[in-house]
């Protein structure tokens, strides 16, 4: 089983749609969770951290379910500029230090 699993997509949605991405992780001891955004042939950039109580940043809402080891990202009122790959990222403690494990990403394509 992969440490971080995501639906690869692509998700093709019209502008204005609401879209949700899911992610599962295997290490129950993970403490920190993030969503990164990666545009085609560019570097990943932090979109938002995910907190236990869930958090919202404008049109973006992240949820964490520790019992199910599940993270979600909801995007409301999709814009063309939201087209990108969304990477689910989880920290694990291994070999004496913390490191981030990236999912392979879910691709979103927003069309007019």
Partner 1 sequence: DAMVIQNPRYQVTQFGKPVTLSCSQTLNHNVMYWYQQKSSQAPKLLFHYYDKDFNNEADTPDNFQSRRPNTSFCFLDIRSPGLGDAAMYLCATSRDGLAGEYEQYFGPGTRLTVT
CA distance 50 to 89: 10
Closest Cα partner for 28 from 73, 65, 72?
65
Closest Cα partner for 5 from 89, 98, 109?
89
Q: Which of residues 38-77 bind partner 1 (CB under 8 A)?
A: 41-46, 49
> Which C-beta is closer to partner 1: that of 15 or that of 39?
39
102 makes contact with partner 1 (CB under 8 A): yes
9 makes contact with partner 1 (CB under 8 A): no
> Which C-beta is closer to partner 1: that of 99 or that of 111?
99
Residue selected from 73, 103, 106, 110 as contacting partner 1 according to rule CB under 8 A: 103
> Which C-beta is closer to partner 1: that of 18 or that of 108?
108
Report the phi/psi class of residue 53: left, alpha or beta, with left for phi > 0 and alpha for psi in -120 to 50: alpha
Backbone CA torsion sign across 17, 103, 99, 65: positive
Q: Which stretch binds partner 1 (CB under 8 A): 15-23, 56-64, 73-81, 93-101?
A: 93-101
């Amino acid at each position: 089983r992969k440490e971080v699993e995501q639906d690869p997509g692509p998700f093709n949605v019209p502008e204005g749609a609401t879209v949700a991405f899911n992610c599962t992780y295997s290490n129950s001891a993970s403490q920190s969770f993030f969503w990164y955004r990666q545009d085609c042939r560019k570097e990943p950039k932090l979109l938002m951290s995910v907190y236990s109580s869930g958090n919202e940043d404008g049109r973006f809402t992240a949820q964490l379910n520790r019992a199910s080891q599940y993270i979600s990202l909801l995007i409301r009122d999709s814009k063309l500029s939201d087209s990108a790959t969304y990477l689910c990222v989880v920290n694990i403690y291994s070999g004496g230090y913390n490191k981030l494990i990236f999912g392979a990403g879910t691709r979103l394509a927003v069309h007019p």
